[in-house]
Amino acid sequence: MIIFHHQIPCPMKPLYLVLTGLLLLNGPAFSQPADTTQLKAFMEGVVTTHLRDKHIAGATVSVIRDGKILLAKGYGFADVDKQIPVSASSTLFRIGSISKMFTWVSVMQLVAQGKLSLDEDINHYMESDVQVPATFPKPITLKDLMTHTPGFEDKVLGLFARDSSKLRSLHDILLAEMPARIRATATFASYSNHGTGIAAYIIERVSGMSFNDYVEKNIIGPLGMTNTSFRQPLPVPLNTQLSTGYKFAGGEFKKQSFEYVPLYPVGAAASSATDMTKFMFALLNNGSWEGKAILDSATLAQMVTPAHRHHPSVNPMRYGFMDVSQNGVNIIGHGGDTFWFHSLMVIFPETQTGLFISFNTDKGGGVVMDVLDQFVKQYYPEKTPLKPALAPNRKFLEQFAGYYRANRYAHFDITKVASMFGDTHITVADSTRLRINSGENVRYVVPIDSLTFREEHGSKVIAFGKNDEGKIANMFIGGLPVFAFDKVDGLEAADLHTNLFVISIVTTLLVLLYWPFVNWVRRGFRSLRDHLPLPITARRVAWINYFLLLVFIVSLASLLSDAEDVVYGVGTSFKVVLVMPLMMIGLTSWMTYHAARLLPDNRYSFLGRIYYVLITLVSLATLWQLYHWNFLGFNY
Residue 142: name the closest of 261, 303, 293 by CA: 303
With respect to residue 431, please indicate whether it lies within any of the assigned structural domains. yes
Same domain, 510 and 619: yes
Tens digits of residue pLDDT in 338-361: 999 999 999 999 999 999 999 999
Same domain, 479 and 447: yes
List all residues 6 or more positions away from 502 whose beta carbon is below 8 Å from its beta carbon: none
With respect to residue 311, please indicate whether it lies within any of the assigned structural domains. no
Same domain, 460 and 439: yes
Using DSSP, state whether 178 is helix, strand or coil. coil
Secondary structure letter of residue 140 according to DSSP = P
CATH code, domain with 405: 2.40.128
With respect to residue 511, please indicate whether it lies within any of the assigned structural domains. yes
DSSP calls for 214-244: HHIIIIITTTT-TT-B--SSPPTTHHHHBPP
Q: What is the structure's pLDDT at 370?
A: 96
488, 516, 549 - which closes a domain: 488
Same domain, 590 and 499: yes
Domain range for residue 559?
Answer: 494-628
List all residues 6 or more positions away from 198 whose beta carbon is below 8 Å from its beta carbon: 122, 126, 132, 145, 174
With respect to residue 572, please indicate whether it lies within any of the assigned structural domains. yes
Tens digits of residue pLDDT in 61-118: 999 999 999 999 999 999 999 999 999 999 999 999 999 999 999 999 999 999 999 9
488, 516, 545 - which closes a domain: 488
Same domain, 418 and 524: no
Q: How far is it between the farthest Cα atoms of the chain?
A: 100
With respect to residue 565, please indicate whether it lies within any of the assigned structural domains. yes
Residue 458: name the closest of 390, 400, 385, 396 by CA: 385
Angle at 123 between CA 127 and CA 147, to 5 degrees: 130
With the C-alpha atoms ordered 479, 483, 489, 494, is the resulting torsion angle positive or negative? negative
Q: What is the structure's pLDDT at 617?
A: 98
Same domain, 512 and 483: no
Same domain, 450 and 547: no
- Report the C-alpha gap between 145 and 124 in whole angstroms: 15
Residues 439-473 as b/e (b if ≥16 CB within 10 A, e otherwise) read: eeeebebbbbeebbbbbeeebbbbbbbeeeeeebb
List all residues 6 or more positions away from 387 whose beta carbon is below 8 Å from its beta carbon: 448, 454, 459
With respect to residue 538, please indicate whether it lies within any of the assigned structural domains. yes
Q: What is the structure's pLDDT at 38?
A: 93
- Report the C-alpha gap between 42 and 44 in whole angstroms: 5
Same domain, 551 and 606: yes
Q: What is the structure's pLDDT at 12?
A: 32
Same domain, 531 and 449: no
Q: What is the structure's pLDDT at 529?
A: 57
Same domain, 499 and 588: yes
Count of domains for the chain: 2
Q: What is the structure's pLDDT at 242?
A: 98
* CA of residue 101 relative to chain centroid, distance: 17
With respect to residue 24, please indicate whether it lies within any of the assigned structural domains. no
- Report the C-alpha gap between 599 and 22 in whole angstroms: 74
Same domain, 500 and 616: yes
Beta strands at 434-438 and 441-447: parallel, antiparallel or unpaired: antiparallel
- Cα pseudo-dihedral 430, 433, 438, 439, rounded to 10: -40
Tens digits of residue pLDDT in 15-69: 222 222 322 233 334 443 367 999 999 999 999 999 999 999 999 999 999 999 9
The low-confidence residues of the chain, meaning pLDDT below 50, are: 2-33, 527-528
With respect to residue 193, please indicate whether it lies within any of the assigned structural domains. no
Q: What is the structure's pLDDT at 522?
A: 67
488, 515, 540 - which closes a domain: 488
Q: What phi-psi label fits residue 322: left (phi over 0), alpha (psi between -120 and 50 degrees) or beta? A: beta
Same domain, 600 and 514: yes
Which residue type is seen at 400?
F
Q: How far apart, in Å, are the Cα atoms of 528 and each of 52, 213, 473, 523, 524? A: 73, 85, 61, 10, 9
End-to-end Cα, the chain, rounded Å: 21
Q: What is the structure's pLDDT at 117?
A: 98
